Amino acid sequence: MARRHARVGYGLPTLLAVGLHVLVLLVSIVSLPARDTEPDSSIVQATLVSTETVTDQAQRAEAARARARERQAEEQRQAEEEAAREAEAAAAEEQREAEREAQRQAEEQAREEARQAAEAEAARRAEEAEQETRRREEQRQEEEARRQREAEEQRQREEEAERQRQAEEEAERQRKAEEEAERQRQAEEEAERQRQAEEEAERQRQAEEEAERQRQAEEEAERQRQAEEEAERQRQAEEEAERQRQAEEEAERQRQAEEQRQREEAARRAAEAADQGLDRAIEGESEAVANAQQGQEAANDFIALVRRAVEQAWVIPPNVPSNATAVVTVRLGPSGELFAASISNSSGDSAFDRSAIQAVEAAAPFAELRQLPAAVQRDYRQFNLRFRPGDVSS
Amino acid sequence: MNDSMSIPHLIMSASTVVQLVMLLLTVGSILSWIVIFQRTFVMRRAHRAHRSFEDRFWSGVDLNELYRETPTEQETQGAEHIFRAGFREFNRLLAKTRSPQAILDGVQRSMRVAWSREEDRLNLHLVFLATVASASPYIGLFGTVWGIMGSFQSLSMAQQATLATVAPWIAEALIATAMGLFAAIPAVIFYNRLSAESSRLLGKYEDFAEEFHSILHRNLQGRAEAGAA
């Protein structure tokens, strides 16, 4: 007997239906926020138009860059601190990509210049050294020539003396021969007179003459030997002098070579030092640039946040000319609260100016300032916002 | 931004009219789902009951026994209800009249009434499903149009026509249409399915009524011949 209950109740269906709806709601809450992230950013970005900067930061950066450019024209020794200052300028400025590129190129150029200058310096020094050596070489040659000339003169003088001496000896010999002839004549006369008796005497005399002649010959030989010795001595002296001169020249050459080498070494070391200085400067600069970049990204975020907040709080009054532009100087406290907002460049339309100041007041405080790096924070405590009917830009 | 675009936040920040529309649609959706579940259970049970009753009916059991099996006060459904109504009328008329035609007429009338009750029972609330299915898209559309009107009004007051000022309005307006479709689509599908099922069941009941009628007719015919003889 299948006795069935009379009707189907509504309790279970109600439970099921409500459960189904709750489930659908939960699914929509859980899954939809994840999908919402994409459209919301595009909604906001649609109003982000201008990225131009009018903060005094940029002006300061501009000035620093100009100074850096001037300094680039200076000598390579200053390249290092110049690079550092350029890095500082890079740290300070607002839209860096292109400018930093330019700076890097300029620095490269500076480094290149420095290297070229160093090379030129080295080349110049090498050339100077070369010239110096050449000059010294010439001097030495001159000296040598002079010395040679002097030696020649001396030699000539000696030869002259020798010749005179020989002539004198010749004259002496002639005189002696004459005397001899006289004496022979006298002897002949004597012999004439005392022919027989004097044969002995003649012999003696002959013997004496012979002895005399021998002595004279000996003297002559002696004199010749002495002259030869003298000549020998002189030659030796000359040789000695020559040797000494050569030694001196050798020493001179060595000294010059040494000097040259030292000079080259010094030049090389100077060039190396310049290179190393540049390298160090470049390293320091890239580090500074990296730091600056970090700070700057945060700063850009901050600027974008401020701009967006002001944009959303801005109510443009009606009938504003489309080219009206007002610049509002904003000063912030350390934690991002608004100290003062004043019109620094009026648009000429007081309602428009008021609306701009009201927008800044409504958007304050900018608590995101505290998230910036401490060094950058100080720079962004005061900035300008430019209001145009199209957009807000900082 | 994320919070303001989430669906609960959009619903909460919508204008009152749109909120009312969304509330109405939510209620309609819940009720339609209640009907869907309830009707599905009813149909399944009716199918099962019909099958088991037909088995018993055609098993060769005596009709008087079958009639007495169920106490009179208990309410019956489907083919059994039709059978009991017809048989009760047949027994009553048999005692009062001898005209077979009058008896058969009375039985047929009583069975038609029972069948009509069964039809009414099976189609109960299906009309509500049909209403939700056809009306909720329009209700949702009304909410959307109202919300977009509001967004344009706020746009005329704002100085800057940014997407951010329009987007929440349009989003919450579109949520109304989404909810209308969410209620309407299941209602349409299940209305078609349930009404087809109920008409099939009613056809089966009709078949059964005809068969039972022919049995009674045969029975009366035999008695008339026996009485005449």
pLDDT in tens, A65-95: 666 666 665 655 665 666 666 666 655 665 6
Give the rounded percent of residues in chain A with a pLDDT score beyond 90.
Answer: 7
Kindly state whether residues A149 and A250 are assigned to the same domain. yes
Is residue A247 situated within a structural domain?
A: yes
A53 in a domain, yes or no? no
Report the mean per-residue pLDDT for chain A: 76
| Residues A53, A54, A59: CA angle, nearest 5 degrees | 100
Does the residue B2 lie in any domain? no
Q: Report CB contact under 8 Å: B33, A36.
A: no
- Is A21 in contact with B162 (Cβ distance < 8 A)? no
Instruction: Examine residue A388 and state whether it is found in any structural domain, yes or no.
Output: yes
| Assigned token pair, A281 | 């400067």
**What DSSP line would sit under B83-146, residue for residue?**
HHHHHHHHHHHHHH---HHHHHHHHHHHHHHHHHHHHHHHTTTHHHHHHHHHHHHHHHHHHHHH
A96, part of any domain: no
What confidence tens digit (pLDDT) does each residue in B33-62 have?
Answer: 999 999 999 999 999 999 999 998 888 888
Single residue among A242, A260, A278 that ends a domain in this structure: A260
Residues of A with CB under 8 A from a CB of B: 1-4, 6-8, 10, 12-14, 16-18, 20-21, 24, 28-29, 32-33, 36-37, 39-44, 46-47, 311-312, 314-318
A17 vs B77, which has greater pLDDT?
Answer: A17
User: Which CATH number characterizes residue A318's domain?
Assistant: 3.30.1150.10
Mean pLDDT of A48-52: 36
Write down the pLDDT at residue B60. Answer: 83
Contact call for A10 and B26, based on CB within 8 A? no
Whether the full predicted model's pTM is greater than 0.90, yes or no, is no
The H or E element that residue A338 is part of is strand A338-345
Going by their DSSP bridges, the two strands A326-332 and A338-345 should be labelled as antiparallel
- pLDDT exceeds cutoff 80 at A187: no
A281 burial (CB, 10 Å; 0-12 / 13-18 / 19+) is buried
Q: What is the pLDDT of residue A42?
A: 31
| Residue A198 one-letter amino acid | E
Q: Answer whether A267's CB lies under 8 Å from A129's CB.
A: no
Give whichever of A133-147, B46-60, B159-173 has the largest mean pLDDT: B46-60
In a domain, residue B1? The reply is: no
Give me chain B's average pLDDT, please: 87
Beta-carbon separation of B6 and A29 below 8 A: yes
A56-72 and A79-92 helices, crossing angle to 10°: 160
* A339 vs A329: CA distance, rounded Å: 11
Instruction: Please report, for residues A20, A345, B6, B11, B182, the alpha-carbon distance to residue A25 in angstroms, rounded to integers and kept in the order given.
Output: 9, 53, 12, 12, 12
pLDDT band at A40 (very low <50, low <70, confident <90, very high): very low
Phi then psi for A341, rounded to 5 degrees? Answer: -135, 120
Residue B125, by phi and psi: left (phi above 0), alpha (psi -120 to 50) or beta? left
Q: How confident is the model at residue B135 (pLDDT cuts 50, 70, 90)?
A: very high
> B157 in a domain, yes or no?
yes
- Residue A161, domain member (yes or no): yes
What torsion do the CA atoms of B39, B42, B46, B52 make, to the nearest 10 degrees? 140
Alpha carbon distance, N-terminus to C-terminus of chain B: 97
First-residue to last-residue Cα distance in chain A? 88
Q: Are residues A135 and A242 in the same domain?
A: yes
B34 vs A12: CB contact, 8 Å cut-off?
Answer: no
Per-residue confidence at B189, pLDDT binned at 50, 70, 90?
A: very high
What backbone phi and psi angles, to 5 degrees, belong to A10? -100, -5
Mean pLDDT, residues A322-344 taken together: 80
* B220 touches B66 (CB < 8 A): no
Whether A323 and A240 share a structural domain:
no
Helices and strands (DSSP H and E) totals, chain A: 7, 4
Q: Which domain covers residue A197, as residue numbers? A: 130-260
Chain-chain contact of A2 with B41 (C-beta, under 8 angstroms): no
pLDDT for the residue numbered A18: 92
The answer to whether position B18 is within a domain reads: yes
Q: How many domains does chain B contain in total?
A: 1
Distance in Å, alpha carbon of A76 to nearest chain B alpha carbon: 55
Hey, are the CB atoms on B160 and A316 less than 8 Å from each other? yes
Same domain, A140 and A253: yes
Amino acid symbol at B105: D
Residue A170, in any domain of the structure:
yes
Same domain for A248 and A358?
Answer: no
Q: Could you tell me which residue, A351 or A87, shows the higher pLDDT?
A: A351
Q: With CB atoms and an 8 Å threshold, state whether A4 touches B77.
A: yes
Residue among B29, B35, B69 minimizing CB distance to A1 = B69
Looking at the domain assignment, is residue A28 inside a domain?
A: no
Which of A1, A43, A311 has its CB closest to that of B167? A43
- What is the mean predicted confidence (pLDDT) over B119-145? 92
- What chain B residue is nearest to A28 in terms of C-alpha separation? B7
Contacts of residue B170, Cβ cutoff 8 Å, sequence gap at least 6? B147, B148, B151
Contact call for B164 and A317, based on CB within 8 A: no
Mean pLDDT of A185-202: 76
Scanning the structure block, which residue is given the tokens 């944009």?
Answer: A311
Q: Is residue A215 located within the same domain as residue A144?
A: yes
Q: What share of chain B has pLDDT > 70, as a percent?
A: 96
Higher pLDDT, B212 or A81: B212
Which contiguous run of DSSP H or E holds residue A170? helix A96-193
* A178 in any annotated domain: yes
Q: What's the pLDDT score for residue B203?
A: 94
| Residue A286: C-alpha distances to residues A82, A127, A289, A300 (Å) | 13, 37, 5, 20
Within-domain flag for B59: yes
B194: CB partners within 8 A, 6+ apart = B36, B39, B40, B43, B126, B129
| Structural domain ending residue among the three candidates A219, A237, A260 | A260
Burial level of B55, CB count in 10 A (0-12/13-18/19+)? exposed
* A385 φ/ψ angles, rounded to the nearest 5 degrees: -120, 130
Q: Is the predicted ipTM greater than 0.90, yes or no?
A: no
Max CA pair span of chain A: 219
* Parent domain of B62: 7-228
My answer on whether A237 and A322 are in the same domain is no
Contact (CB<8Å) B42/A8: yes
pLDDT in tens, A221-231: 989 999 999 99
Average pLDDT score over residue span A302-307: 79
Cβ neighbours of A305 in B, within 8 Å: none
Tally of structural domains, chain A: 2
> Residue A4's closest chain B neighbor by CA?
B49
Q: Identify which of A17, A20, A13 has the alpha carbon closest to the alpha carbon of residue B43.
A: A13
Beta bridge partners of A343: A328
pLDDT of residue B39: 93
The C-alpha atoms of residue A133 and residue A264 are separated, in whole angstroms, by: 13
Helix (H, G, I), strand (E, B) or coil at A306: helix
Residues of B with CB under 8 A from a CB of A: 1-2, 5-8, 26, 29-31, 33-38, 41-42, 45, 49, 52, 69, 74-75, 77, 158-160, 162-164, 167, 182
